Amino acid sequence: MAEDFPEELTRPLAEFHRGVLEAENALAPLLNVPRDQLNATMTSLEKARLDLASSYATNTMFYVYLTLQGVDMKEHPLKGELGRIKSLMDQAQEIEDRASMPQVDVGAAKRFIRSGLWEAGKGEGAKGGDKGAGGQVFATSANSIQVEKKKRRHSSSSSKRRKSSGEGGQASAK
pLDDT of residue 62: 93
Identity of the amino acid at 66:
L
Give the domain ranges of the chain.
13-100, 128-169
Check whether 7 has a pLDDT greater than 50. Answer: yes
Contacts of 45 (CB under 8 A, 6+ apart): 92, 95, 96, 99
pLDDT of residue 134: 47
pLDDT of residue 113: 87
Name the residue among 82, 44, 41 with its Cα closest to residue 64. 82
Residue 21: pLDDT band (50, 70, 90) is: very high
pTM above 0.85, yes or no: no
The pLDDT tens digits of the residues spanning 45-87 come to 999 999 999 899 999 999 999 999 999 999 899 999 999 999 9
Identity of the amino acid at 101:
M
Query: Can you list the alpha helix ranges (DSSP code H) found in 76-132?
Result: 77-100, 106-116
CB 63 within 8 Å of CB 78: yes
Strand pairing class (130-131; 137-138): antiparallel
pLDDT of residue 93: 93
Pick the more confident residue, 107 or 140: 107
List beta partners, residue 27. Answer: none
pLDDT of residue 77: 94
What's the mean per-residue pLDDT of the chain?
Answer: 77
